[in-house]
Amino acid sequence: MNGKKKNRSFYLPPIGQRLIKTAVAVFLCLVIYILRGYQGMVVQSAIAAIICMQPYADSSKRVAVNRVISTVMGGLWGLLFLLLMEQIPGITSHMLLVYLCMALGVLLVLYTCVLLKITDSAALAAIVFMCVIVTYPNVEAPLQQTFDRILDTIIGVCVAVFVNIVRLPAKKHPEKLFFLHLKDIAADRYSIVQSRILIELNRLYDEGARISLETRWAPAFMISQMSGLRMNMPIIVMDGAALYDMRENTYPELMTIPQQNVKELRRILAGDGICACIFAVRSRTMMLFHDGPMSEAEQWDYEIMRRSPYRNYMDGMYEPEDSVIAVRFLIRHGEADAAFEKYRSDPYIAAHFRIVRYRMAKSDDWSGIYFYRKDATIENMEKLVADHFSSETGLEPDPVHISPPEQGYDPEHDAHHLLHEISRIYMGFGFMTRSEK
């Protein structure tokens, strides 16, 4: 570091569909308010529309039912409050008592939502309740006021559902097959992918976009990083050594290293006193075996990984029927370059293996050196993904690689622009604005 602040490219955030739809829903509520002759409380309709706008259309319909129930329930509690307050003589002379009763009423409304298991709609129920009672004691017709507030809210809920299920006209390109690297939407293999990125990915999947994610790591990382993702294509894992289908929890394709080659590599590494970790697939499960007593580095890695429910560390050694797809050992950074060159120049290893080096995340000390089958590459696995695309869709794929700018890109802040680019290509609309600083 030379003390100078690193320049980075930045994007003006795009206006997403949810923002546009929310604004449209509010506008429609205002239009309905005009058509009703300015009757009712339009802000109530607008609030309901804003709250009910959901990331996905199907969830909007489901949530709408709960919101209608909570609206009616909040209104009925409000009506009951007004009727009961009329039976308490002189309570209006002590407004502090009135407000205490209102607060208790909110508590009852929220608790009722808990009992009905519609907690997601509890806030709206409380809002309806407060809108019914807020003008107390200046209420001349409690029943009419309750009805009006319920109607105002239901208008907002219905408008939100209508706007959310409307699809903007677009010419989709189902022949496009998108490849997106996981490192471009997550800072490292331990980072959880942001919820807004998962929402955008799921929306693209729901629209029919075919997106295959790529990662140099095992499926366990992606499963833990992207919980709730509804993928429609297999993902490329282990830097091209395997294809994993999260939908079926299977490995449709494996670049298996021949047993004889694994045996010879183990002999070479053992001769140098190296404890290697062997990645093997048995049926639908990836297992990890340590070849010999764990070194300090392997023990460090094991302590980080062993708590995960998605990793299977096995005692003993793999079976002949297991598919070995990678062999790895860890080494200190200062020694990694020499070791990498040594094994890359070994005639046997060079003839049978592809060897790569990665700096391990969460570590200032260790690098990992990985051995894969010679033809186990991202490029070769993409061809197999294209075959799966053709078999599932009947279309000839048009591959599209989505990549960030070479400089100044930060996955945590800029990942949504890559997804916006996919939307622009697949749906035929959208824009990106980029400037330099």
Cα dihedral 88→91→95→101 (10° resolution): -20
- For residues 30 and 123, state if they share a domain: yes
What are the pLDDT digits (tens) for 375-389? 999 999 999 999 999
Asked whether the predicted pLDDT for residue 8 surpasses 60, the reply is no
From 97-101, 258-262, 343-347, 431-435, the region with the lowest mean pLDDT: 431-435
From 57-61, 235-239, 348-352, the region with the lowest mean pLDDT: 57-61
The reply to whether 4 falls in a domain is no
CA dist list (Å): 171 to 128, 207, 421, 426, 427: 41, 12, 15, 8, 6
- For residues 366 and 388, state if they share a domain: no
Beta-sheet pairing, 210-214 with 398-402: unpaired
The reply to whether 65 falls in a domain is yes
Asked whether the predicted pLDDT for residue 11 surpasses 60, the reply is no
The reply to whether 210 falls in a domain is yes
Count other Cβ atoms within 10 Å, centred on residue 70. 29
- Residue 344 has what pLDDT? 94
The reply to whether 235 falls in a domain is yes
- For residues 322 and 410, state if they share a domain: no
- For residues 339 and 383, state if they share a domain: no
Query: What is the layout of strands, in order, in the sheet containing 366-373?
Result: 312-314, 285-291, 276-282, 323-332, 366-373, 353-359
Q: What is the CATH number of the domain that holds 215?
A: 3.40.50.1000
The reply to whether 2 falls in a domain is no
Q: How confident is the model at residue 434 (pLDDT cuts 50, 70, 90)?
A: very low
- Residue 170 has what pLDDT? 66
- For residues 246 and 314, state if they share a domain: no
Which range among 184-193, 308-317, 400-409 has the greatest average pLDDT?
400-409
- Residue 80 has what pLDDT? 92
- Tell me the two tokens of residue 44: 């109530």
- For residues 388 and 247, state if they share a domain: yes
- Residue 12 has what pLDDT? 59
The reply to whether 1 falls in a domain is no
Query: Which has more pLDDT, 195 or 11?
Result: 195
What are the pLDDT digits (tens) for 245-299? 988 889 999 999 999 999 999 999 999 999 999 999 998 889 999 998 888 888 8
Q: Are residues 21 and 164 in contact, defined by beta-carbon separation less than 8 angstroms? A: yes
Share of the chain above pLDDT 70, in %: 92
What's the mean pLDDT in 150-158? 92
Domain range for 60 is 17-165
Asked whether the predicted pLDDT for residue 309 surpasses 80, the reply is no
- For residues 160 and 212, state if they share a domain: no
State the chain's mean pLDDT as an integer.
86
- For residues 234 and 336, state if they share a domain: no
- For residues 198 and 51, state if they share a domain: no
The reply to whether 332 falls in a domain is yes
- For residues 301 and 237, state if they share a domain: no
Asked whether the predicted pLDDT for residue 216 surpasses 50, the reply is yes
Query: Which has more pLDDT, 363 or 345?
Result: 345
- For residues 288 and 147, state if they share a domain: no
The domain total for the chain is 3
Of 374, 393, 411, which residue is a domain's last? 374
- For residues 133 and 241, state if they share a domain: no
Q: What is the CATH number of the domain that holds 335?
A: 3.30.1240.10
Of 374, 395, 420, which residue is a domain's last? 374
Of 132, 165, 198, which residue is a domain's last? 165
Query: Which has more pLDDT, 319 or 93?
Result: 319
Short-list 141, 156, 133, 127, CA closest to 36:
156
The reply to whether 38 falls in a domain is yes
- Residue 207 has what pLDDT? 84
Asked whether the predicted pLDDT for residue 436 surpasses 60, the reply is no
Asked whether the predicted pLDDT for residue 147 surpasses 70, the reply is yes
